[in-house]
Each structure stands twice: as structure tokens, then as C-alpha cells.
Amino acid sequence: MKTENNEALVEKLSWCNNCGHKTKHIIQHTGSWSESFLSNESDPRSWYKFDYVWKVLQCKGCDAYKVEELEFLDNQEFGVTQYPASIARQLPDWIGGLPQDLGDLMREVYSAISHHSNRLAAMGLRAMADFVIRDRVGEQSSFRKGLEAIEGAGLIGRKQSEYFASVVEAGHAANHRGWNPKKSEVNHMAEITENVLHTTYILGKHSESLQATTPKRKKMTRK
């Protein structure tokens, strides 16, 4: 095992979770180590070797640090891991306006998206739909009834209800029919869910504060 430090500060383009896009990063430190294994105890020629290269990167845009681990098997690169993991989908900046449990669930679901756990993310998005229905219109006998109730209460529109139903159905397919959605499909599910949450929990508060601060019309009096 060995570690080393690169004196020369080299730059590389890499994803930054804070900046939300690829930025130039300074490679602040590089270290490496390796380990070898005997795959067959009775065959002394069956050694194979893993090499690990660690890089500490600092974003030139926001100064945030991250660590990148590159793995090599017999000198062939076969994996890159980042700590913290690259965020595949940014949490909306209004997440603080959601009920605490729903916000926590959303963070877990988006973490699953970042770790490419698409089935888990789809199941989690369906669980979020379940939460919204229970929270806003109470326990319902089925998702269909829940969607009807939330639309009937005027909390979401007809089209939103229709789109939200497709999220529920996709989550059901991931949970019960072994469907493994693609990244783009999970993103579509998240996009629709965000729209429903924004309408259901956030826009009402914005509207109330606007009404409170907008100057009232003066009454016209005829002479």
C-alpha cells in the first residue's frame, strides 16, 4: 500500500452538486493503493490485482470538495465512485415548505435516483403520492379513489390528476410487476410529482402572501 501527493495542481472538468452542472475542479490531492488476491488457492499463478486511485477535487465555482475513487483490475479501469454521489436530480428549493415527513421521504427518493436505484426511486415516488393523498384528503380505499378525492377537493386539476395517476401506475409496476424504469422515466415521474407537490403545498402560501401585500383598489366615488 502506498500514498502520494501530487504537488502540481491539475484541473479537470467534473460534475458539481452545488453548482448543478459540470465545472472546472482543482485536483488538490491524489493517492493510490493496491491489493492482490489469489483466486484459486491451489494455483499460484491465479493472482489478480486491484488498484485504487483517490483524488480530492475542489470546485473552482463554489469551493466545495469531493472525493473520486477510480478502481482498476489488472490495470483495466472498471469503476468510478464519487463521495458524495453526484446528484442526478436536484431537490426543489421549496422542499422546506413540505410537511417534514414528506420532505424526508423526498430526500431519500432523490438519493435513490442519484445512486441509479431506479426501481427503489419509482416505489418511493408512489409512496410520496400515497402520502399526499392521505395528508390532504384522508385515508382512501384505493389510489383511484384517492386521486378522485384530491381532484374533487379542488387541490389539483383534472390534467394533473391524470398525470399523477401515471406516476402511481408506474410505481405499482416497479413494486409488483418487476418493471425496472429507465433514468428518463424516473425523472418524468419525479417531474410530475414535483408539480403536484408544488400546487398542493406551496402555491397556496405564495398566493396568500401576495394577497396580503398587494395594495387594495381604491373605491371609485361618483360626484
Instruction: Give the footprint of Zn ion on this chain (CB under 5 A).
Output: 16, 18-19, 59, 61-62
Three-point CA angle 126, 150, 140, nearest 5° = 65
Q: Which is nearer to Zn ion, 13 or 212 (CB)?
A: 13
Q: Which is nearer to Zn ion, 87 or 173 (CB)?
A: 87
Give residue 69's Cα distance to chain centre: 21
What minimum distance in Å lies between the beta carbon of 121 and Zn ion? 24
CB neighbours of residue 13 within 10 Å? 8
Contacts of 206 (CB under 8 A, 6+ apart): none
What minimum distance in Å lies between the beta carbon of 64 and Zn ion? 5
What minimum distance in Å lies between the beta carbon of 13 and Zn ion? 12
- The span from the CA of 128 to the CA of 171, in Å, is 10
Q: Can you give the three-state secondary structure of 123-148, one letter per residue?
A: HHHHHHHHHHHHHHHCCCCCHHHHHH
What minimum distance in Å lies between the beta carbon of 58 and Zn ion? 9
What minimum distance in Å lies between the beta carbon of 112 and Zn ion? 23
Contacts of 134 (CB under 8 A, 6+ apart): 140, 146
Q: Which is nearer to Zn ion, 6 or 86 (CB)?
A: 86
Q: Which is nearer to Zn ion, 2 or 21 (CB)?
A: 21
10-16 vs 21-38, strand pairing mode:
antiparallel
Contacts of 193 (CB under 8 A, 6+ apart): 125, 128, 129, 164, 167
Q: Which is nearer to Zn ion, 78 or 83 (CB)?
A: 83
C-alpha cell at 173: 409496476
What minimum distance in Å lies between the beta carbon of 73 and Zn ion? 31
Q: Which is nearer to Zn ion, 18 or 46 (CB)?
A: 18
